[in-house]
Amino acid sequence: MGEAFSNVKDQIGFCGIWCGSCAGGNGSIAELATRLDKMVKGYGLEKWLPRQFDFKEFMSGLACIQANGVCRGCRNGGGPPTCKVRICALQKGLADCSQCSQLLECKNFEQLEKSYPSIKADLAKIASADRGELVDKWLSELKTKWPHCVLFCSSTEK
């Protein structure tokens, strides 16, 4: 378990999304980029690979993904800076959006609902639950989920 994951592990966003389940924030994308990078370099594939793409740019792109700073998590100023949900919740001083009386008609969730239609219902479900227990439960599920499982196994296993 890397630094990125331990940073976001205990945070649940105002919208109800667990920061630990974000592939970008929990470090799993960076971990995969590191493994691919090592493999390409270790095998000296520069000599072998097809020439249809710029190898140097490709490798620097991989390096950029790995070098991306560790996400601080939604509760500590990480995540997408323009997220309307977070800005609104912070302004209202809410612990999370489930406390808001306007949740059902809230338009700030539109973007999130496109990829996660049941987000509001799920948020209402977790509102009264114990956060520590939730994180423990999700963590055990996460270990078997792609791509997050790469955080819990060595490169030889996956």
Binding mask 1-30 for other proteins (x = CB under 8 A): ----------------------xx---xx-
In the complex, the smallest distance separating the C-beta of residue 130 from other proteins, rounded to whole angstroms, is: 29
- Is residue 145 part of the contact set for other proteins (CB under 8 A)? no
Residue closer to other proteins, measured from CB, 78 or 98: 78
Q: Return the residue of 33, 74, 123, 151 that touches other proteins, per CB under 8 A.
A: 33
In the complex, the smallest distance separating the C-beta of residue 58 from other proteins, rounded to whole angstroms, is: 3
Secondary structure of residue 6 in the 3-state scheme: helix
Q: Return the residue of 1, 2, 6, 45 that touches other proteins, per CB under 8 A.
A: 45
Angle at 56 between CA 52 and CA 57, to 5 degrees: 80
The residues of the shown chain that bind other proteins, judged by CB under 8 A, are: 23-24, 28-29, 32-33, 35-36, 39-40, 43, 45, 47-50, 52-55, 57-58, 60-65, 67-68, 80, 146-147
